[in-house]
Structure formats: C-alpha cells, structure tokens
Structure 1
C-alpha cells in the first residue's frame, strides 16, 4: 500500500513538474497556443478582434476582392477606324483624265502618293491642292476635299485615300506578353482582347495574370481569365492607353503546425483556407490542433463594423479568425473562407504535444543526471 502511494505521489509530482515547465514557457514550440491568442482579444484588453467563423462571418469576411473596370472604361465606344488622327499615315492615288496631267508621269494616268503622314497639326500636303485638314476627317471626306481642290486645275480628277497605319492612335503593351511594343489601333485591334492577341498573347500564367489599362490619370485592372469569361471586360481602346500584364504578387504566410512554414504565392485568383493549408503540406499529423486554425488579417473599418455590428470603428482593424475543423460543418466553412493577400495562416499545436515535449525533456534530463552520477561514482572507485 505504501509502495502504491509513493508511486502515485511520484507520478503526481512528475505531472506537476511538467505543468510548471510548460507554463514557464521553457519548452520549444512553433508559436503561441490557443489560450494565448485568445488573450490578445480586445475583450481581454488586447488589440485584436477574435472572431469564431460561422456562416454569417464567412458571408462578410470570406470573400476575395474582385477586380474590374469602371463604367467609364466599359462605356467608352469603339474608336472608329475611319477617323484620321495626327500621326496617321495615308496612301493617296490620283487619276487624271488627260494625257499630260498635273501630277502624272508621261504615259501614266495615275499618280501614287504613298506614306503621306498627317503632321502634328492634323494636316497633309498634296501638290496643287495645298494643305488639307486630315485629322478628324474620314478617308472619304479627305477624298472629296482633294477632288474639289484639284478640279479647278485638271478635269474630273479621281482620288483614292487609304489609311495605311494608325500611328496616330497607338497603345503601349508591356509586361508578361509575348511581344511588348507599341501597336496601332486598327480595325482588327480596337478592343483589349484583340490587341493582346496582336501582341502574341499573355506569356504569364493565365490563372494569376492581371491586366491593367492606364488611360490618362485613370486605371483599371481585371484578371486575364475574366476578360474572356465576361465580354463586358473587353473594353474599347483609346490612343495613348498603356496595357500592362503582370503575374499576381499576392501571397499568404503559413506558420505553426503545418507541413511547412513558408510565404506562399497565390496559385489561382482565389484560394480557400482549406486550399491554403493543402499548399503547405496540410496539418501536421503529429502536432496540429484542428480546433485551432487561425487567420490573421488587417480588415478595413467598413468590414470590421459589419463583423461586430458596430459603426464606430475607424481605420484598419486587426482581426483574428478562428476555424474549428472538427465542427460538423467546420470543413465546409474553411472551404468557403477565402484567403486574402498578406494573410497569415497559423495552426496551433495540440496540447498533448507540449506534454510529450515535457516528458521527453524531463526524462532526458533525469537520464543525463543519472548517467553523470554513475560516471562520478565509477571515477571515485
């Protein structure tokens, strides 16, 4: 009976010792435990709002911000390919109904005037017709003007005007495309999709490629895949537009009891909490606490006020979202919770992990002490 009592007392003393060691934070661990994170709540005089994710919270915070063009971009009409602009290059051909015409060479009835460029003021020069206002006119209007001016000097002139190049209305395409450069807006390339095709298509990963159009002091961005999924995103282009294609630089950081702890680039437009955990090797089978999956985020005041049913918060707020994967619908909620740029996903260790570490540390220490005592005794003998 005494022996059993002594064994029980030793066991109790061991557990107390392990608890004391763990409580003092002497054991190594991957980060704070659940209770320590909850102690950072505003309710505990901390500086973060700790929210257990449910369907309501998910509906407010579990969405990924969408990209899109403003109405000003979408409502812009297609540039008319027949409107001449300063910088455009025209091709003129003039036929004269006489053998010895004003412009034609001997024996020829037609006079080609190739690559006549519209100057910065919008004019072209045609011999015997003088300076002609070209910018703002269509090729047909320019043809009539030239014909009228030549009609006083040569009988019944016939004029053909062709727009050879749209250098007066160009866009710049840079970034992740096969052919960066300056491209004219012509009949086949008057919208964003067709202009990207003219540049050889997107060279970046389509799933994370972002297309930005800069027009003057305004800009708009969309995901490349949305350009084809939603025809409304195929906006009309304007001269001077800059089209920039880049890979998304969004990332999240994974810490704690996961397969790996790393900073991870987004592999798709949107990823859920479940997908984020899977990308870093899932939960550690030997260490993770599935009831303690946390997502740390800076939320704008508008979102934080919705989450807390308040209207007095101002500025960005620190929010810690708690996902309990062991709940009946826990996996579904985590599947629907979208990770955002610069989120931190942290998985706590299960309580028994610290206990096991304590046992290993204590038994290892006692074993080392016993070995040292035995070595000293042997040396004394």
Structure 2
C-alpha cells in the first residue's frame, strides 16, 4: 500500500468510527439507558424517571381488588321449597266419595301432572279456580287448594310437589366443564356448589375469575377467594348468570431478555423479578443489570404519592428504574409489583454496544483493505 493509500484508509476508518460510534448505524432492540434518562421531565422530556426504593414500592403496590358488593353478600339463601313463576308442580287430589268432582268412577285419586306456574305466579285448579302459587311453599299451597275444594267435596286430601323447579335457574358459562342452565336446588343454593355441579372450572385456578350478573348489577371475585373467604360463597338467585373466565391482564417485555413478547399474568400478583423469570431471565450476553426499566401510565393519585407532589393532574408517564447490582436491588425487584399493560425493558450493556461498534468498523474496513491490496498489486 502506498503512503497516499494509507492516508485514505486511515481517513475512511476515522469517518466510519465516528459514524458508528454516534449510534445511528448500530442495530439494537431499543433506547440506551442514557437516552431514556434524556426523556425525563428534568431534561425537558415528558416522563418522570424514578429509581425504585421501599417508598416507591409501597406507593405503587396496587393489585386488582375483586369482591362482591353488599347486595350480593347480604342476600340470604333461597328456600328450596319456595314456588316461583315458571316452576312445574304435581298435584294429586283424593276425594271421599265414589263420584267426586275430579275423580272418575271407581278411582279415589286424581293426578294433575305438570301444572305450570304462569309468569304472574298463578296456577289453575279445576273447581278451585285460579290460585296464586308463587311465593308459597308446597305445604302452604296444599292448604290453600284444600280450603278451596272443601266447600265442594267432603274432606279432600291434596298433595303438592315441586318438580323440576324450572323457575329458579342460573346459567353457567365460560371456562367451565359443562356450560348450561341449572336449577337452584337444596345442594346448589350457593356459588361454589353450583360451580361444582357444572363440572368445575377448566381455567388455571390461580387466575380464574368468577363474575355473577344479577339483573343490572354484577360483581367479580377470584375463584380461589371463594374458599379463602366463606362470605364470598354467596347465595344464588333465579336468573343469575355466572361467567368463568381467565384473567386478561398482561405485560410486554422488550430488550435484552430471554424473550420479547406480550406475556399474560400467571398469578394474581406479579413482581418485577417474577416477570423477568417468566420470560427466561436476563440475557447474560447482552443485558445491563443496572438498566431494568418499567414503563407505565400511572394514575394521578399514585403519581402524586410517588413524586410527593400535589400539582399533578391526570395520568402521568412514569419510568421506574431497577438496578439489580445494588445491595438491595434484588429485594426491590422482588417487591416491586408489575401491573396490567406495563412494559418491562432491559437495556444492553455498554460493552455490547462497544463490541458492535468495533465489529462494524473492522467489518467496514475489510472491503477497503482488499481494494487497497488489489490496487497495490
């Protein structure tokens, strides 16, 4: 290589090094740590960058609170014998005469099978007329029918049975073994028993949510809380709709981790360290353990508590910083709660960026060196 060619090679190397070192030519998965900090409100950006500590962890530790309202909790058990509109009844009448009002010659008893309680709660019994059945027990209805017939046939004997109980049913849908409409009977008057009657939940119990809709009201609980708190095992009402579904919360993971994806929650609560573990941990060849960031739109009340300010209005963009190399870094990551729609981002280590720079420079110089070698021949 001539002296002139050597000068050209050095000049080109310097230009390439300056261009690559500026970052515009380096492939990467996201912003560097310094670029994230440059977006801080302190640097005229639009996000608050906050280092995680015990106080921040306590202020941001918010998990979904699920539970039944007082309307559901205070509802007593439905009596399994209470007759309701839509129920089907069976009536049998005995008469002490050979030729009774209802019985045929030679028959002492008359069976009235599948007497339907209409939408207004009434049934019709021959010679007794239209009788209100809804709200009464079979025993009380027996007394009413007996009194009605007693004036027309001597000492009638009446039996009333509640058959399928179709008027007091609930529908069970979603992640359940056997979806369908089930009658409220003595063994299934409470929520957990009805879920068992339908075959049990088919989604992961740790993240299964149970929604009960009653008229225009609805409430939701965690499936496991039904057994942890007996008060949540509420009494059912006719017409209730029960929906079993899996928790839909998720978070996104980007950067130098084992995988980059949108991840569903696998437990009711999820810490930052658990979220990192869920995606395979940090990439040991790329990750900077001092640059673990959680991006989140924080509600006004929580943002005020975190920043100690009362002048904030509306949701605030927050960037929480976790340094896993600090003495308490792993503890902070273990206690810091990940929430729905969070973005967990891990930056690349400075060594990786420098290595890429060197590789880009040396790789770019190779064609020129070959050209110079050919030119010198």
Same fold (TM over 0.5): yes
Q: Matches of 1:241 and 1:202 in 2, distance apart?
A: 18
Matches within 5 A, 1:113-124: 113-124=112-123
Q: Matches of 1:299 and 1:118 in 2, distance apart?
A: 55
Offset of residue 20 of structure 1: 6.0
Does structure 2 conserve the Cα–Cα contact (< 8 Å) formed by 1:63 and 1:337?
A: no
Offset of residue 321 of structure 1: 1.0
SS in structure 1 of the partner of residue 182 of structure 2 = strand
What residue in structure 2 maps to residue 87 of structure 1? 86
Offset of residue 160 of structure 1: 1.7
Cα distance change of structure 1 residues 19 and 76 upon mapping to structure 2, 3 Å threshold? farther
SS in structure 2 of the partner of residue 178 of structure 1 = coil
Q: Matches of 2:69 and 2:44 in 1, distance apart?
A: 42
Give ranges in structure 1 of 5+ residues lacking alignment: 1-9
Does structure 2 conserve the Cα–Cα contact (< 8 Å) formed by 1:165 and 1:186?
A: no
Q: Matches of 1:324 and 1:193 in 2, distance apart?
A: 44
Cα distance change of structure 1 residues 15 and 353 upon mapping to structure 2, 3 Å threshold? farther
What residue in structure 1 maps to residue 304 of structure 2? 305
Does structure 1 conserve the Cα–Cα contact (< 8 Å) formed by 2:19 and 2:25?
A: no
Q: Matches of 2:279 and 2:235 in 1, distance apart?
A: 41
SS in structure 2 of the partner of residue 165 of structure 1 = coil
What residue in structure 2 maps to residue 332 of structure 1? 331
Cα distance change of structure 1 residues 97 and 310 upon mapping to structure 2, 3 Å threshold? farther
Matches within 5 A, 1:132-143: 132-143=131-142
Offset of residue 143 of structure 1: 1.0
What residue in structure 2 maps to residue 49 of structure 1? 48
- 1:361 equivalent in alignment to 2:357: no
Offset of residue 64 of structure 1: 2.1
Q: Render the CA deviation track for 1:216-247: whole Å, top value 9, x for unaligned.
A: 22211112122222212111122222111112
Does structure 1 conserve the Cα–Cα contact (< 8 Å) formed by 2:20 and 2:361?
A: no
What residue in structure 1 maps to residue 4 of structure 2? none
Q: Matches of 1:15 and 1:305 in 2, distance apart?
A: 49
Does structure 1 conserve the Cα–Cα contact (< 8 Å) formed by 2:123 and 2:131?
A: yes
Q: Matches of 1:247 and 1:288 in 2, distance apart?
A: 32
What residue in structure 1 maps to residue 228 of structure 2? 229
Cα distance change of structure 1 residues 178 and 105 upon mapping to structure 2, 3 Å threshold? farther
Q: What is the TM-score when the length of structure 2 is the normalising length?
A: 0.92
What residue in structure 2 maps to residue 68 of structure 1? 67
Give ranges in structure 2 of 5+ residues lacking alignment: 1-9
What residue in structure 1 maps to residue 57 of structure 2? 58
- 1:208 equivalent in alignment to 2:207: yes
SS in structure 2 of the partner of residue 67 of structure 1 = coil
Offset of residue 313 of structure 1: 2.3
Matches within 5 A, 1:91-130: 91-130=90-129
Does structure 1 conserve the Cα–Cα contact (< 8 Å) formed by 2:250 and 2:341?
A: yes
What residue in structure 2 maps to residue 193 of structure 1? 192
Q: Render the CA deviation track for 1:272-306: whole Å, top value 9, x for unaligned.
A: 11111112111010110111111111111121111
SS in structure 1 of the partner of residue 187 of structure 2 = helix
Q: Which moved more, 1:120-129 or 1:65-74?
A: 65-74
What residue in structure 1 maps to residue 321 of structure 2? 322
Q: Which moved more, 1:345-354 or 1:225-234?
A: 225-234
Q: Matches of 1:141 and 1:203 in 2, distance apart?
A: 42
SS in structure 1 of the partner of residue 356 of structure 2 = helix
Does structure 1 conserve the Cα–Cα contact (< 8 Å) formed by 2:252 and 2:343?
A: yes
**Once superposed, what is the RMSD of the aligned Cα atoms?**
2.1
Q: Render the CA deviation track for 1:317-342: whole Å, top value 9, x for unaligned.
A: 21111111111121111112221111
Does structure 2 conserve the Cα–Cα contact (< 8 Å) formed by 1:91 and 1:163?
A: yes
SS in structure 2 of the partner of residue 341 of structure 1 = coil
What residue in structure 2 maps to residue 155 of structure 1? 154
Does structure 2 conserve the Cα–Cα contact (< 8 Å) formed by 1:82 and 1:139?
A: yes
Q: Render the CA deviation track for 1:160-209: whole Å, top value 9, x for unaligned.
A: 21211222222222111122122222222211111111211112222222
Q: Matches of 2:290 and 2:158 in 1, distance apart?
A: 81
